[in-house]
């Protein structure tokens, strides 16, 4: 774009993100550069850029239909549902239809049997209904439990997608804020460098001030390059997650409203995780499946009883002994009983194996409960700490702005040197960037807390989405 420095002539994605960040911070004290950049951001908006800003919910919906990890979990869920339904076969009746046809050409040294040709057609329908098969019923119960496991796994995958998408979304905003802050610092440092050079030329300042300002300016240039690259990388990561090119997240509106945690009791959150965590549900169901596996193994000692029936019909064009055609129909119904007597100790050893696996499932469940409780506490205190940090950074921002104003005034009257102003500028812009990141971390931390508890869903994105720039 003509008239812009090369450092601002980035890709349309980068320029649009920067423009949004500039809009969001325009008019704040200590950001004269951003106020100057408002026309630039407007120009970027209307410069033919095909990208429009997307909200958090918009990008989540895009990621939900594109992300390979989530799609894999969804396919696994569908497969497990079908596999669970297969367990019905053990308790439902089975039916089979068989048919056969044959042609016989007979030759014999006996004259009465020589030259005989005849054919036969037959069909049989057989039905079997399990009456007492304990192992089949245990398999049926396992199939229902596997469906519960699949549901918990899909819920966990959806929650993971929400957190990954939100993290990537705010990573882009953080990188955009950092780049805008560095560029503001660069402009302020350039102004201070020009002032130091003028003062040196008229003899009111030493060469030290000029060299300090030059060193600071060179450092900011390096920081700008790093920040610009970081924004590009974060934008590409978000693009890959949602399956779109040139995504541009909407920034948060100022002032950002951060809600306190409700309930403000970590133990209540831990108790909720015990009831809602998908990980705990998976392992609890796995324990139930392991117990059913033991029942199946023990059923190896038990008898089985089936109701059977069959009906067959055949048409015969004769036989080896009968010369005329004839048909035969027969029906059979009965009970099939089987009692295992000895299987080489395989059943006993199978029971020992399943009991050990049952103990393992119990231990895994307990370990998951403990890790979930720990993760919940960590996420809870992380959000609490983040809220406190935001308040501290807000106070630090006001103090840094006041310090910068004082140092500028002191430099003008000769009681402060150039390096004091430069340090105050760096401190102010660094504080602003950290404040923005702290706010984003609180928002993402709240989602991670609900993920640890197991209650996170897409509806929790709406309060955040409502705070985004229209």
Fold equal for 51-78+144-285+361-465 and 95-132+304-338? no
* Among the listed residues 39, 405, 351, the one whose alpha carbon sits nearest the alpha carbon of residue 188: 405
User: How high does pLDDT run on average in the chain?
Assistant: 85
Decide: 299 and 134 in contact? Cβ < 8 Å: yes
Q: Parallel, antiparallel, or unpaired for β 326-338 and 94-106? A: unpaired
* 27-41, 144-158, 312-326, 365-379: range with lowest mean pLDDT: 27-41
Residue 320: predicted pLDDT: 58
Residue 60: predicted pLDDT: 96
Query: Stretch 359-379: mean pLDDT, rounded?
Result: 97
Residue 43: predicted pLDDT: 30
The CATH number of the domain covering residues in 95-132+304-338 = 2.20.200
Q: pLDDT by residue (tens digit) across 403-422?
A: 999 998 998 888 887 888 88
Residue 111: predicted pLDDT: 58
Residue 48: predicted pLDDT: 35
Q: pLDDT by residue (tens digit) across 219-250?
A: 999 999 999 999 999 999 999 999 999 899 99
CATH of 51-78+144-285+361-465 among 1.20.1600.10, 2.60.120.260, 3.90.580.10, 3.30.70.1020: 1.20.1600.10
Is the pLDDT assigned to residue 23 strictly greater than 60? no
Helices (H) and strands (E) in the chain, counts: 11, 4
Is the pLDDT assigned to residue 174 strictly greater than 50? yes
- Which residue in this structure is represented by tokens 């990141």? 437
pTM here is 0.80
Residue 409: predicted pLDDT: 92
Share of the chain above pLDDT 90, in %: 67
pLDDT band at 134 (very low <50, low <70, confident <90, very high): very high
Residue 325: predicted pLDDT: 78
Alpha-carbon distance 47 to 263, whole Å?
48
* Among the listed residues 447, 382, 353, 330, the one whose alpha carbon sits nearest the alpha carbon of residue 57: 447
Query: Stretch 171-185: mean pLDDT, rounded?
Result: 94
Residue 118: predicted pLDDT: 73
Residue 37: predicted pLDDT: 37
CA R_g for the chain: 38
Q: pLDDT by residue (tens digit) across 291-328?
A: 999 999 999 999 999 999 999 998 887 665 666 777 88
Residue 327: predicted pLDDT: 85
Largest CA distance in the chain: 142
Alpha-carbon distance 442 to 384, whole Å?
8
Residue 321: predicted pLDDT: 62
Q: CA geometry: angle at 371 spanning 367 and 372, to 5°?
A: 115
Residue 323: predicted pLDDT: 65
DSSP string computed for 409-469: HHHHHTSS-HHHHHHHHHHHHHHHHHHHHHHHHHHHHHHHHHHHHT---GGGHHHHHTTB-
Which pair of tokens denotes residue 204? 């009111």
Domain boundaries, the chain: 51-78+144-285+361-465, 95-132+304-338
Dihedral sign from CA coordinates of 132, 136, 141, 144: negative
- Which residue in this structure is represented by tokens 């990980």? 279
What residues have CB less than 8 Å from 94, skipping those under 6 apart?
Answer: 127, 128, 129
pLDDT band at 26 (very low <50, low <70, confident <90, very high): very low
Alpha-carbon distance 62 to 242, whole Å?
5
Share of the chain above pLDDT 70, in %: 86
What residues have CB less than 8 Å from 397, skipping those under 6 apart?
Answer: 428, 431, 432, 435
| Higher local confidence (pLDDT), 360 or 322 | 360
* Among the listed residues 3, 2, 1, 8, the one whose alpha carbon sits nearest the alpha carbon of residue 22: 8
pLDDT band at 186 (very low <50, low <70, confident <90, very high): very high
Query: Stretch 62-69: mean pLDDT, rounded?
Result: 95
């Amino acid at each position: 774009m003509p008239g812009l420095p090369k450092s601002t002539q980035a890709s349309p994605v980068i320029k649009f993100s920067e423009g949004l960040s500039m809009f969001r911070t325009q008019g704040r004290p200590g950001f004269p550069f951003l106020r100057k950049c408002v026309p630039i951001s407007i120009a970027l908006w209307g410069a033919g850029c095909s990208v429009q800003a997307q909200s958090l919910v918009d990008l989540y919906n895009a990621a939900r239909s594109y992300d390979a990890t989530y799609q894999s979990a969804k396919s696994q869920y569908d497969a497990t549902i079908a596999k669970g339904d297969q367990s019905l076969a053990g308790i439902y009746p089975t039916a089979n239809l068989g048919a056969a046809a044959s042609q016989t050409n007979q030759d014999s040294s006996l004259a009465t049997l020589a030259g005989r040709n005849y054919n036969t057609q037959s069909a049989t329908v057989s039905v079997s209904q399990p009456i007492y098969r304990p192992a089949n019923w245990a398999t049926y119960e396992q199939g229902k439990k596997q469906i519960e496991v699949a549901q918990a796994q899909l819920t966990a995958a959806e929650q993971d997608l929400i957190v990954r998408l939100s993290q990537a979304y705010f990573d882009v905003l953080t990188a955009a804020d950092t780049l805008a802050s560095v560029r503001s610092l660069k402009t302020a440092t350039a102004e201070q460098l020009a002032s130091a050079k003028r003062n040196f030329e008229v003899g009111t300042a030493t060469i030290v001030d000029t060299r300090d300002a030059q060193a600071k300016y060179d450092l900011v240039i390096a920081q700008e390059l790093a920040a610009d690259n970081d924004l590009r990388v974060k934008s590409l990561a978000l693009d890959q997650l949602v399956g779109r090119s040139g995504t541009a997240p909407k920034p948060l509106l100022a002032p950002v409203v951060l809600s306190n945690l409700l309930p403000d009791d970590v133990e209540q959150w831990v108790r909720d995780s015990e009831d809602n965590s998908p990980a705990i549900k998976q392992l609890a169901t796995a324990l139930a499946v392991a117990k059913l596996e033991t029942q199946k193994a023990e059923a190896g000692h038990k008898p089985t009883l089936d109701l059977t029936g069959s009906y067959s019909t055949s048409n015969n064009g004769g036989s080896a002994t009968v010369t005329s055609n004839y048909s035969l129909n027969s029906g059979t119904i009965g009970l099939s009983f089987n009692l295992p007597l000895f299987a080489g100790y395989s059943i006993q050893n199978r029971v020992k194996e399943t009991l050990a696996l049952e103990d393992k499932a119990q231990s895994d469940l307990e370990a998951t409960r403990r890790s979930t409780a720990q993760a919940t506490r960590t996420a809870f205190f992380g959000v609490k700490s983040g809220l406190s940090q935001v308040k501290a950074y807000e106070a630090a921002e006001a103090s840094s702005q006041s310090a910068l104003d004082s140092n500028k005034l002191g430099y003008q009257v000769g009681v402060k040197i150039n390096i004091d102003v430069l340090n105050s500028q760096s401190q102010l812009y660094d504080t602003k960037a950290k404040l923005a990141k702290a706010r984003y971390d609180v928002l993402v931390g709240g989602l991670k807390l609900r993920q640890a508890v197991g209650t996170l869903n897409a509806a929790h994105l709406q309060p955040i989405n409502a705070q985004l720039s229209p």
